[in-house]
């Protein structure tokens, strides 16, 4: 009878770690584990009940490197948690609802992924999202600084060109800023670039690697088509077409959904691909190289997206841009001009 009660308490603690009526002495969210649960990393998703958060949570539950998955949002997390917890994979899933449970959601995490915020709607730019999402990111990062200051933080919330500087300023004010551990997720730009280029070349997208540098909005997204693998040359018309489509990929989806949402599914896929790279880096795997928007000295700007090598400390090496052609050099100057404004906007939001 006692063992049965313990099992009931264990299950309750997984789904309701802060409110379970069956909590027993010595059994808490911190030490509760499923029998046979996989060894691995503890990951939190902040904004887990949203359009990106739900598919992102599902895909992270499938990752064998994840042992504990915390799902946080201000609404609807109990249902999402119950749903995803039924998947027969190794990660233990726990849900957290509302600001009062944010600290519990973050304590002890190795990786925190933040898709929280409102999505884009037709006619809305990423910059239009700023005043709503900036406050959300600021609050969440204050929680991270307090509860898991050593975690790797992946920022998805748009506009990334501003929300990453916001996160950096929050961490600086808390005395926890480590530039190696803060990464803006620009992987969707790379995913789109690989897909669109593969379509033109008639290749499998998984065989294509297009570096995308700069930022994560409009002209700040700069695909370096001169550096693609496998090596290939493009006509000026092809270069213009591909660059424009990659830069406007988000708008393409927003318009196609006609008010019903933004690029949630492809973003979730890209976010999980990047999070998986971070986890492999944390594990100590060699040569984990991806593009990300990070604190950087590649240009005169404090933040810039370029190829980085991921490791146990997060970003362990930032690669230079390499040789650019004339089209890319012109694009770089346009990108930097707009990026400078977006970065300053984020810094100013925290300092005001």
- Catalytic residue set: 216
**How many Å apart are CA 326 and CA 322, to the nearest integer?**
13
* DSSP string over 276-344: HHHHHHHHT-S-EEEEEEEE--SSSSSEEEEEEEEETTEEEEE-------HHHHHHHHHHHHHHHHHHH
Q: Helix, strand or coil for residue 174?
A: helix
CA-to-CA separations, 146 to 71, 94, 107, 165, 177, in angstroms, rounded: 18, 20, 9, 18, 12
Token couple for 20: 């379970």
Q: Please, which residues have CB within 8 angstroms of residue 25's CB and are 6 or more apart in sequence? A: none
At residue 137's C-alpha, the angle toward residues 247 and 348, to 5°, is 80
Residue 134 CA from chain centroid, whole number: 15
- Beta-strand ranges (E) seen in 77-218 are 92-97, 111-114, 152-155, 182-184, 212-214
* Nearest by Cα to 116 from 92, 143, 93, 94: 143
Say if strands 288-295 and 152-155 run parallel, antiparallel, or are unpaired: unpaired
Q: Are 70 and 96 in contact (CB under 8 A)?
A: yes
* Nearest by Cα to 216 from 169, 260, 155: 155
Contacts 24+ apart (CB under 8 A), 139-143: 139/99, 140/46, 140/102, 140/114, 140/116, 141/166, 141/167, 141/170, 141/171, 142/170, 142/174, 143/102, 143/103, 143/106
At residue 260's C-alpha, the angle toward residues 254 and 265, to 5°, is 65
């Amino acid at each position: 009878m006692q063992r049965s009660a313990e099992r009931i308490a264990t299950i309750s603690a997984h789904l309701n770690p802060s409110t379970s009526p069956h909590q027993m002495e010595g059994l808490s969210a911190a030490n509760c584990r499923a029998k046979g649960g996989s060894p691995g990393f503890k990951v939190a998703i902040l904004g887990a009940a949203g359009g990106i958060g739900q598919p992102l949570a599902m895909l992270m539950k499938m990752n064998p490197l994840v042992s504990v998955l915390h799902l946080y949002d201000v609404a609807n997390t109990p249902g999402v948690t119950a749903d995803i917890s039924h998947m027969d994979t190794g990660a233990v899933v726990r849900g957290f609802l509302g600001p009062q449970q944010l600290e519990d959601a973050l304590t002890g995490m190795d990786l925190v992924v933040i898709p929280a915020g409102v999505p884009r709607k037709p006619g809305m730019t990423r910059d239009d999202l700023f005043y709503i999402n900036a406050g959300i990111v600021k609050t969440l990062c204050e929680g991270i600084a307090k509860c898991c200051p050593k975690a790797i933080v992946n920022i998805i919330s748009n506009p990334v060109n501003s929300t990453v500087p916001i996160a950096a300023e929050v961490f600086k004010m808390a005395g926890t800023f480590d530039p190696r551990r803060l990464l803006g997720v620009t992987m969707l730009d790379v995913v789109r670039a690989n897909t669109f280029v593969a379509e033109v070349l008639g290749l499998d997208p998984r065989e294509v690697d297009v570096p995308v540098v700069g930022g994560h909005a409009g002209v700040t997204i700069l695909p370096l088509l001169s550096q693609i693998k496998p090596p290939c040359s493009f006509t000026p018309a092809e270069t213009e077409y591909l660059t424009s489509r990659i830069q406007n990929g988000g708008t393409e989806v927003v318009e196609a959904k006609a008010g019903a949402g933004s690029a949630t599914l492809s973003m979730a896929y890209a976010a999980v691909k990047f999070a998986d790279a971070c986890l492999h880096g944390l594990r100590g795997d060699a040569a984990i190289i991806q593009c990300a928007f990070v604190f950087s000295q590649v240009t005169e700007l404090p933040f810039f997206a370029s190829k980085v090598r991921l490791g146990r400390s997060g970003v362990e090496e930032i690669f230079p841009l390499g040789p650019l052609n004339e089209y890319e050099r012109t694009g770089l100057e346009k990108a930097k001009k707009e990026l400078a404004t977006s970065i300053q906007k984020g810094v100013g939001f925290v300092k005001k």
